[in-house]
């Protein structure tokens, strides 16, 4: 027998199809309301009122509201603390249950526990379902029944466990209830302003995700493995922000990756599951090194070095181009995320926590699990089996992945006239050559902030403390 009323709480799942919580609520309830909360606990800490992510969410909600209204429903939109807003709306509507999709961040888990307790006190059920990943909880474990801490064995176990049912589309049919209020409030009424999303070619919502997905799977998905590391080439999907906010279903992407035998692309999606799992089982990684012995490392306090890295003025063209891409667009190519992270930690000797924090502020697709996992991978303090001395050479990375300097010249225009021979290390040009093209190193473009070879030796010495701790 169906419950009379239910409430679906949308969070990072801003679509009306292939949606676990919505489907469950509709299958069990005669009438289903929908809500999104602009949570002030999160919003109040944002440094800028022109935050592209808030703009993206708001625009995606407008599209979601339209889609839900076409089905007879619509969105309630609240602005406040979820811990207060969700129980209050549930009581106001007289629902029997609240449904949502699970979140794995420690703060989100605590929030959901608080909401669940309040609802239970009012006699309202709380249901959290799996939606933003393929496997979660204890679905993929080692033979000893423990969470994996290394990716490759996790991937193999993930693939072995996978069935067609795990990636099947979750259809939802049933009675949506219209909200007793107009369309969602304006972005301005929430205290935020519109941004340059559209100018940057970032189209929010389900339609924006569909546009990118159709373009990617039309051909590039088959060449992803060979193109993905070259930032000057259109080789990746650009779907990360849509996956972050759930305007497209992970199940659909995995289904197509399997059908297309796109192994490299599939591996990236499995990495996403892996980092969710790590954050869920090892929340200490948010504040500390995943491997405790790496907490013994003593990082340099170098504010000027950090600022140079943030602004893209290190004197290493590929690093600078990547950071300027981030500052300009809120996005960075994945290969370059590894390069700049390695440079901060192992060339500049600055803690990964500073880089993680800066990425969290700047990335449109910021996700705590992937961001923390990626930074700890680069710092060698994370959950991977590679040796602690993994150090990227910023020049050889540049030569290999931007061989003609096309990406560098796009974001570091002051180097536009530098010959290909020197584009990766312009300080090697002689004075006469510099004057001939009007690019004086140290005046028109910074000299290298550190010597990579010397920095590498310093890093090896810095990490020696880890050997002593083992």
Any idea of the CA torsion for 414, 419, 421, 426, to the nearest 10 degrees?
-30
Q: Calculate mean pLDDT across residues 196-214.
A: 97
Min mean pLDDT across 118-132, 212-226, 380-394, 404-418 is at 380-394
Domain with 345 in it: 292-469
SS3 call for 97: strand
Domain count, the chain: 3
Instruction: Give the per-residue pLDDT at 48.
Output: 93
Instruction: Give the per-residue pLDDT at 468.
Output: 62
Could you tell me which residues come within 8 angstroms of residue 129 by beta carbon, excluding any fewer than 6 positions away?
20, 21, 24, 99, 100, 101, 102
Q: Do 271 and 306 share a domain, yes or no?
A: no
Average pLDDT for the chain: 95
Residue 151 resides in a domain: yes
Q: Do 66 and 140 share a domain, yes or no?
A: no
- Dihedrals φ, ψ of 287, to 5°? -110, -20
Q: Do 123 and 247 share a domain, yes or no?
A: no
Domain boundary among 110, 131, 152: 131
What distance in Å separates the CA atoms of residue 38 and residue 35, rounded to the nearest whole number? 10
Q: Do 370 and 444 share a domain, yes or no?
A: yes
- pLDDT surpassing 70 at residue 59: yes
Q: What is the pTM of this model?
A: 0.95
Domain boundary among 109, 131, 153: 131
Q: Do 460 and 323 share a domain, yes or no?
A: yes
For residues 133 and 102, the answer to whether their CB atoms sit within 8 Å is no
Residue 438 resides in a domain: yes
Q: Do 213 and 155 share a domain, yes or no?
A: yes
Could you tell me which residues come within 8 angstroms of residue 124 by beta carbon, excluding any fewer than 6 positions away?
87, 90, 91, 95, 96, 97, 98
Residue 430 resides in a domain: yes
Percent of the residues in the chain that have a pLDDT greater than 70, as a whole number: 98
Q: Do 159 and 19 share a domain, yes or no?
A: no
Q: Calculate mean pLDDT across residues 213-219.
A: 94
Percent of the residues in the chain that have a pLDDT greater than 90, as a whole number: 93
Tens of pLDDT, residues 417-429:
999 999 999 999 9
Residue 177 resides in a domain: no
Q: Do 305 and 398 share a domain, yes or no?
A: yes
Residue 199 resides in a domain: no
Tell me, what CATH number does 104's domain have?
Answer: 3.40.50.620
Instruction: Give the per-residue pLDDT at 470.
Output: 54
Q: Do 343 and 400 share a domain, yes or no?
A: yes
Tell me, what CATH number does 247's domain have?
Answer: 1.25.40.80
Tell me, what CATH number does 350's domain have?
Answer: 1.10.579.10
Q: Do 306 and 434 share a domain, yes or no?
A: yes
Residue 416 resides in a domain: yes
Could you tell me which residues come within 8 angstroms of residue 458 by beta carbon, excluding any fewer than 6 positions away?
349
Angle at 250 between CA 255 and CA 282, to 5 degrees: 125
Q: Do 24 and 100 share a domain, yes or no?
A: yes
Domain boundary among 131, 151, 183: 131
Residue 78 resides in a domain: yes
Q: Do 245 and 305 share a domain, yes or no?
A: no
Residues known to be catalytic: 268, 271, 299, 334, 352, 375
The closest of 345, 4, 352, 400 to 177, measured between CA atoms, is: 4
- pLDDT surpassing 70 at residue 84: yes
Tens of pLDDT, residues 118-137:
999 999 999 999 999 999 99
Q: Calculate mean pLDDT across residues 408-417.
A: 98
Residue 116 resides in a domain: yes
């Amino acid at each position: 027998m169906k419950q009379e009323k239910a409430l679906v709480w949308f969070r990072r799942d801003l679509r009306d199809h292939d949606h676990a919580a919505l489907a469950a609520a509709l299958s069990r309830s005669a009438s289903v309301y929908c809500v999104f909360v602009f949570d002030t606990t999160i919003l109040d800490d944002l440094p800028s009122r022109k935050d592209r992510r808030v703009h993206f969410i708001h625009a995606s909600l407008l599209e979601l509201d339209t889609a839900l209204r076409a089905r007879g429903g619509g969105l309630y939109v609240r602005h406040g603390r979820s811990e207060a807003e969700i129980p209050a709306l549930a009581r106001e509507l007289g629902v029997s249950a609240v449904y949502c999709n699970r979140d794995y961040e420690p703060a989100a888990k605590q929030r959901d526990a608080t909401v669940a307790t309040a609802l239970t006190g009012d006699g309202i059920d709380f249901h959290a379902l799996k939606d933003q990943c393929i496997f979660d909880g204890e679905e993929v474990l080692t033979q000893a029944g423990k969470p994996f801490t290394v990716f490759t064995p996790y991937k193999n176990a993930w693939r072995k466990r996978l069935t067609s049912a795990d990636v099947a589309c979750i259809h939802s049919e049933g009675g949506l209830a219209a909200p007793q209020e107009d369309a969602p409030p304006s972005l301005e009424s929430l205290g935020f302003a519109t941004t340059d999303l559209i100018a940057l070619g970032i189209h929010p919502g389900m339609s924006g995700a569909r546009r990118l997905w159709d373009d990617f799977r039309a051909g590039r998905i088959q060449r992803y493995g060979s193109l993905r590391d070259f930032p000057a080439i259109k080789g990746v999907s650009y779907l990360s922000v849509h996956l972050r906010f759930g305007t497209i279903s992970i199940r659909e992407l995995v289904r197509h990756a399997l059908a297309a035998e796109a192994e490299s692309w599939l591996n990236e999606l499995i990495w996403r599951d892996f980092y969710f799992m790590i954050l869920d089982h090892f929340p200490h990684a948010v504040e500390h090194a995943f491997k405790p012995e790496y907490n013994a490392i003593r990082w340099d306090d170098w504010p000027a070095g950090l600022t140079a890295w943030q602004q893209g003025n290190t004197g290493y063209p590929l690093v600078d181009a990547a950071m300027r891409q981030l500052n300009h667009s809120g996005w960075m190519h994945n290969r370059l995320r590894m390069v700049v992270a390695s440079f901060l930690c192992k060339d500049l000797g600055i803690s990964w926590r500073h880089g993680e924090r800066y990425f969290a502020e700047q990335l449109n697709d910021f996700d705590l699990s992937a961001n923390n996992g990626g930074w700890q991978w680069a710092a060698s303090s994370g959950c991977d089996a590679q040796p602690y001395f993994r150090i990227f050479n910023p020049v050889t990375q540049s030569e290999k992945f931007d061989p003609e300097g096309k990406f560098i010249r796009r974001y570091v225009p002051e180097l536009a006239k530098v010959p290909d021979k020197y584009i990766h290390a312009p300080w090697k040009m002689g004075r006469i050559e510099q004057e001939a093209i009007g690019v004086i190193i140290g005046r028109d473009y910074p000299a290298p902030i550190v010597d990579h070879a010397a920095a590498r030796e310093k890093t090896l010495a810095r990490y020696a403390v880890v050997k002593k701790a083992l």
